[in-house]
Amino acid sequence: MILVPLPLGFFVRKRTPAFIAYVAIHAYVFTFQTANLLLEWANGSTEAFGSFPDFNSGDVWAYGLINMIIYGVGLGLVEGGHRLRARRSGATNASTG
């Protein structure tokens, strides 16, 4: 989710569709990742949430917090890609003008 947003912001001309596309992609990846971790946890893995059926709620909150940070960084990278595109197109227009 860190590799997608910068090119998305760069290649999608309008900011709002780029943000919406990132939100949609992140929602899919987050859902898939969560389902995978829950299935592994139900099968006995203790890496993500502790032992089944007991779990550490701190691990669950940490998982959510880390994903929110990734989400925020991704949105920032979409914005950065958009600004980079604007800067490059402005430099190109100034040099050809």
Segment 5-25, tens digit of pLDDT: 999 999 999 999 999 999 999
pLDDT at position 36 is: 92
**Residue-range domain boundaries for the chain:** 5-85
pLDDT at position 96 is: 46
pLDDT at position 47 is: 81
- The whole model's pTM is what? 0.77
Type of residue found at 66: I
pLDDT at position 78 is: 96
Pick from 75, 70, 67, 73: nearest CA to 22: 75
Cα distance between residue 8 and residue 84, in whole Å: 11
Over the range 6-18, which residues count as b (16 or more CB within 10 Å of their CB) and which as e?
bebbbebeeeeeb
Query: Who wins on pLDDT, 63 or 48?
Result: 63
Q: Is 78 left (phi over 0), alpha (psi -120 to 50) or beta?
A: alpha
Q: Where are the alpha helices (DSSP H) in 13-56?
A: 15-42
